[in-house]
Amino acid sequence: MLGFRLLVAAALAVYGCAAQNASLDFPEDFMFGVATAAYQIEGAWNVSGKRESIWDDFTHEHPDWIADGSNGDVACDSYHKLDVDLEMLQDLGVDFYRFSFAWSRILPEGHTDQINPDGISYYNRLIDGLLAAGIQPVATMYHWDLPSPLQDLGGWPNSFTADFFVQYARVLFENFGDRVKWWITFNEPKEVTRGYGENDKAPRINTHGIGEYLSAHTILLAHARTYHMYDEEFRATQQGRVSITLNQDFCIPKDDSEENKDAADRCNQFELGWFAHPIYSQEGDYPEVMRTRIDENSAAEGRPFSRLPYFTSAQVEYIKGTFDFFGLNHYSTRLAEDGLAGENPSRKRDGGYATSFDPSWPTSASDWLVVYPEGIRLIVNWINATYGDVPILITESGFSDLGELNDTGRQDYYREYLRQLSLAINEDGINVIGYTAWSLMDNFEWLDGYTARFGLYYVDFEDDDRPRTAKGSAELYKQIVASHQVPEAESTAAWGW
Ligand code: PNW
């Protein structure tokens, strides 16, 4: 039976190639890439002038907060293994590589009075190596690793942190903007705010209900100022694109009731609209539903002003439209229902919804990640319907397991998610311009340490040399990148969905 199936599949593949050339799953100019982030791969945490970030402090002071007590001191040692990383990227044949700059490698104290030449030269070698291989750099300025001295000044809830960020961004444009044409100011600001509102991100200061909103406010202004600085001083000569990456595991109603439909909408507004509405909507500012609920809750708590800060009308105008594309990280989907969850007060509780998973959805090695391929089609449609026809770049998407080389779960994930994405493009007409697999290789997965693995390449963290080995998913991705088609195959994972 299996033999017969394979024969049929092979015959279809040959026929399919000829017949489908005219209708590829992905347009010819669609871009495929892979992503990493500095703290998760570089290691060399105190080498060549680099100083501490909040993630160095977090992991060093509290190994008990990390699943396996580990940290990013060495990680994949990419600081010393740049050439190996470049070879893997070339082998995959990707159009772009999304990486992040470590702020404290470039500006050891966070401030521009001291620029670290070794930091600049590391990223120059990376960028030049990518360009020599025909791979576009897609650079994230901030992937969660705030220089510790800036946390000592209060971190993101302190509005002056925006000033320091803009100065840092200027150093990046000045040093790398001649060659980097795709810029992402912040990776997942919602997750950054968790460092001030939940217990699962550095710096783990739980000022829930207040700190999250203040951090978001600073980040939105820092993003907008960076965008305008590029417009005014760099765009004419450098001709690149600047945007932000927002993450959302899409919320769908738990059932057809009106309360739960409203709850799902609130979930998407309180999590994605929080950042997307000020930047991408026609009217700008925070979503109305956030403004109303948080103002009301704050008043009921007897506060003289709202826990959700206000933008001036000039700031609303200033933030609106500060994008050249929509960077979206999407992994999973949740069911939303009306109800109160989270600490009092907190963003979660203000939102008035609770989320869960359908028990039939396949799980992963991460407690927040379940497999629901239609979710990616639904969310790009939602973005298009809510914010208009903005080009969407999927800046992360991927699946975690415990580290198999024959990673059938991950292969199924990519096949199914990419099939759904191609339907969004071809059937729904959504303007999706690229897809990024998280991640190039296994790396330091934050609170999960090295236990949950997302890589297309396996990394042996027991070996000082950190050897990398291609998994089955690397072969699959390579094939998809080269053909712009998702191969027909049955799901092979144990769950067989
Ligand atoms: C992203 N969630 O984080 C980050 O950008 C990466 O650094 C990270 O390694 C990757 O996804 C996998 O976790 C997320 O809870 C963290 O929904 C949490 C969630 C989503 C993404």
**Could you give the C-alpha distances from 336 to 363, 383, 466, in angstroms and in order?**
18, 18, 41
Quick check: is 198 catalytic?
A: no
Compute the average pLDDT of residues 353-382: 98
Query: Which pLDDT belongs to residue 492?
Result: 62
**CA 356 to ligand 1 centroid distance, Å:** 17
For residue 267 and ligand 1, the question of a CB distance below 6 A is answered with: no
Integer Cα distance of 86 and 131 in angstroms: 10
> In whole angstroms, how far apart are CA 272 and each of 97, 276, 307, 423?
25, 6, 18, 23
Contact 432, 485 (CB under 8 A): no
Domains of the chain by residue range: 2-483
Which of the residues 188, 198, 271, 337 is marked catalytic?
Answer: 188
DSSP bridge partners of 435: 32, 394
| Residues 406-417 pLDDT 10s | 999 999 999 999
- What percentage of the chain exceeds 90 in pLDDT? 93
Pick the CATH number of 2-483 from 3.40.50.2000, 3.20.20.80, 1.10.1240.10, 1.10.1200.10: 3.20.20.80
Helix axes 161-176, 117-132, angle to 10 degrees: 50
* Average pLDDT taken over every residue of the chain: 95
Q: Is the CB of 191 under 6 A from ligand 1?
A: yes
For residue 5, the CA-to-ligand 1 centroid distance in Å is 37
Query: What's the confidence (pLDDT) of residue 23?
Result: 73
Q: Measured from the CA of 245, which atom of ligand 1 is nearest?
A: 5
Residue whose CA is at the smallest distance from ligand 1 atom 19: 368
404 lines ligand 1 (CB under 6 A): no
Residue of minimum CA distance from atom 8 in ligand 1 = 445
Distance 234 CA to ligand 1 centre (A): 31
CA distance 155 to 54: 10
Best residue among 271, 331, 395 to mutate for probing ligand 1, ranked by most atoms within 8 Å of CB: 331
* SS3 state of residue 283: coil
Q: What percent of the chain has pLDDT over 70?
A: 94
C-beta of 368 in contact with ligand 1 (< 6 A): yes
Helical ranges in 210-273 per DSSP H: 211-229, 235-238, 258-268
**Catalytic status, residue 396:** yes
Give the number of the atom of ligand 1 that is nearest the alpha carbon of residue 368. Answer: 15
Instruction: Give CA–CA dist 423/297, Å, rounded.
Output: 41
